[in-house]
Amino acid sequence: MSDAQYDCKCKANSLAIRGEILPQLDAQIGALLSSLQAVGTVDLSSAGVETARSNLELMAQLQSKDLTPMAKVEDRLVDGRFRTIPIRVYWPKAARDCVGVTVFYHGGGFVLGSISTHDQLARSLAHHSNSVVISVAYALAPENKFPAAVEDALDAFRYAKMVNWELCDKERGAAVPVAVAGDSAGANLAAVVSYLSRNDAHGQPDFALLAYPVTDAAHQDSYPSYLENSEGYFLTAKDMQWFGELYLNSPDEAEDLRFSILLAPDLAPYPKTLIVVAGFDPLRDQGVAFAKALKDAGATAELWLYDSMVHGFFSMEALVDKAKDAVKRAGEYLGQALLKATA
C-alpha cells in the first residue's frame, strides 16, 4: 500500500498550507494502520479501559515472534514508598560487561501498557545500548490517579541508583551510570524524574532518552501538530483527552509540572537528553518545544525528527523498517552516552 492510498482523516498540515513539501507517511506504517483499523484495535478511547488494555496486549504480540535474546531476564519487586512496584530486569550480556543501567518506563497514556507490551522494546534498548534495562510496571489510572505513576517512577529510579553496582557486577559503591528512558507517557515520567531528582540524595540520571514525550498537557491544543494529526494516525486528540480525564483528579492538575514538565520554572540542571519525535503525531510539537526549553536552560539536548512516522513507532520495529532502524540508532546513542558518563 502506498502512502497516497492510506485514507487519513486528519486536517491539512500547516507546511502544505505554506506551499512547502509535506512529508509522506511511511508506506509500512500506512499498511499497519489500515490493518489495525480493519480489526478494530485503533480506537482506544471508545473501547473502554479494559478492552483498550487487551487490544494493546494483542498488538504487542505482533512484536513477540522474534524476541531479542538476552543473557538473563528476571522479574523483581521493589518496595516503593506507597506501593510494591513490579519490575523486569534485562541483561543483554554478562553483567560485568554492561556499560550502565537504564530505567525504562512504558507508554500507554498512564492508563494502558505494561512490562509485557513493551518487552521487545526493552530488549532492543538493552541489546543496542549494552546496558542493563529495568522496565517498570508503575501504577496505572484510573485505579491509581496522579501522581501515583510519578511516585512509582521516582522510587524505581532510586532503586536503580542504589543497586546499579550489583546489577553490573561491580564492587559495592562503584560508579555505574544510570539513565532513564521512556516512550509517550513513559517519556513524560522519565523527563519528570530527571527534574525531580536534581535535589535528590541519589542524584540525577546521567542521560535521558525521551521518545515522543508528553510535556505540556495543559496547553496541548495550542500546538499545530495536535490539530494537524488529531485523528487517523493511531494516537488521536480524543484519546489524549480521555487519558487525561482518567489520569488526573481534576483538570487543574494539568498545570502541575509533574504532568506538564515544560511548565517547570527552571529546568537547570538537567541531564543530557535525546528527544525523538514523529512527524505524524499530535505530540510532535511538545517534544520540539521541550528540546528548545532544555537548550534555553543550558542543558545539552538533541532532537531527532522521523517525519514519516506516527506516535508509538518505537513499538513497531518488528513490522516497520524505519522504526527498527530508529530503535537501533537510539539504543546505540544511549550506550555511548552511558560510556561517556563513566569517562
Per-residue pLDDT of the chain (343 residues; tens, 9 = 90+): 233 323 333 333 433 333 455 689 999 999 998 887 776 666 788 889 999 999 889 888 876 677 999 999 999 999 999 999 999 999 998 888 899 999 999 999 999 999 999 999 999 999 999 999 999 999 999 999 999 999 999 999 999 999 999 999 998 888 899 999 999 999 999 999 999 999 888 899 999 999 999 999 999 999 999 999 999 998 999 999 999 999 999 999 999 999 999 999 999 999 999 999 999 999 999 999 999 999 999 999 999 999 999 999 999 999 999 999 999 999 999 999 999 998 6
pLDDT at 35: 85
The model carries a pTM of 0.93
How many Å apart are CA 149 and CA 105, to the nearest integer?
A: 10
Question: Could you give the count of Cα atoms lying within 13 Å of 262 in the half-sphere of its Cβ?
Answer: 20
Q: Could you tell me the three cell numbers for 122?
A: 526493552
pLDDT at 22: 65
**C-alpha distances in angstroms, 187 versus 108, 274, 277, 315?**
10, 11, 11, 14
The b/e string for 46-55 (b: 16+ C-beta within 10 A; e otherwise) is ebebeebbeb
pLDDT at 20: 53
Catalytic residue annotation: 184
**C-alpha distances in angstroms, 64 versus 51, 142, 217, 243?**
20, 28, 32, 26
* Architecture of the domain whose range is 3-342: 3-Layer(aba) Sandwich (3.40)
pLDDT at 14: 37
* Cβ atoms within 10 Å of 86's Cβ, excluding its own: 17
How many Å apart are CA 64 and CA 125, to the nearest integer?
A: 15
